Amino acid sequence: MKRFSGRVAFVTGASRGIGKTIAERFADEGAKVCLLDVNGENLETTISEFKAKGYDVIGQTADVSVREQVEAAVRAAVQTFGKIDILVNNAGIIRDNLLYKMTDDDWDAVMNVHLKGAFLSARAVQKYMVENRYGRIINISSTSALGNRGQANYATAKAGLQGFTKTLAIELGKFGITTNAVAPGFIETDMTKATAERLGVSFEDFIAYNAAQIPVGRIGKPEDIANAVLFFAMEESSFVNGQVLYVAGGPTN
Ligand SMILES: NC(=O)c1ccc[n+]([C@@H]2O[C@H](COP(=O)([O-])OP(=O)(O)OC[C@H]3O[C@@H](n4cnc5c(N)ncnc54)[C@H](O)[C@@H]3O)[C@@H](O)[C@H]2O)c1
The residue contributing the CA closest to ligand 1 atom 7 is: 142
Query: What is the chain's length?
Result: 253
Sequential DSSP letters for 158-182: HHHHHHHHHHHHHHHGGGTEEEEEE
Check pocket membership of 249 for ligand 1, CB cut-off 6 A: no
In the predicted model, what is the mean pLDDT of residues 134-151? 98
Q: Which pLDDT does position 252 carry in this prediction?
A: 80
What pLDDT sits at residue 81? 98
CA–CA distance, 65 with 152 (Å, rounded to integer): 20
pLDDT in tens, 25-51: 999 999 999 999 999 999 999 999 999
Percentage of residues of the chain with pLDDT beyond 90: 98
66 CA: nearest ligand 1 atom: 31
Residue among 20, 37, 67, 146 to mutate when testing ligand 1 (max atoms within 8 A of CB): 37
Cβ atoms 57, 35 nearer than 8 A: yes
Q: What amino acid is encoded at 128 in this protein?
A: Y
| C-alpha 15, offset from chain centre | 12
| 171 CB within 6 A, ligand 1 | no
pLDDT band of residue 228 (cuts 50, 70, 90) is very high
d(CA 237, CA 72): 30
> Is 219's pLDDT higher than 90?
yes
If you average pLDDT over every residue of the chain, what do you get?
97
CA angle, 221 then 227 then 230, to 5°: 145
pLDDT at 253 over 60: no
- Percent helix, strand, coil in the chain, to 5, is 55, 15, 30
Query: Is there a contact between 225 and 143 (Cβ–Cβ < 8 Å)?
Result: no
Query: How distant is the alpha carbon of residue 110 from its chain centre?
Result: 14
Kindly give the distance from the C-alpha atom of residue 131 to the centroid of ligand 1, in angstroms, as a whole number: 30
Cβ neighbours for 231, distance < 8 A, ≥ 6 positions apart = 237, 245
CATH class, range 8-185+221-247: alpha beta
Q: For residues 217-226, give the mean pLDDT.
A: 98
The answer to whether the CB of 226 falls within 8 A of the CB of 18 is: yes
Taking the domains of the chain in order of start, what are their residue ranges? 8-185+221-247, 189-219
Task: Please give the positions annotated as active site.
Answer: 154
pLDDT tier at 101, thresholds 50, 70, 90: very high
The model carries a pTM of: 0.98
Q: What pLDDT is stored for residue 52 in this prediction?
A: 98
- In tens, the pLDDT along 156-206 reads 999 999 999 999 999 999 999 999 999 999 999 999 999 999 899 999 999
Q: 17-28 vs 222-233: helix axis angle to the nearest 10?
A: 50
pLDDT of residue 61: 98
Query: Residue 188 to residues 17, 97, 129, 150, 204: CA-CA distances in angstroms?
Result: 8, 21, 33, 19, 10
Would you state the pLDDT for residue 210?
Answer: 95
Distance, in Å, from the CA atom of 158 to the CA atom of 148, rounded to the nearest integer, reads: 11
pLDDT higher than threshold 90 for residue 93: yes
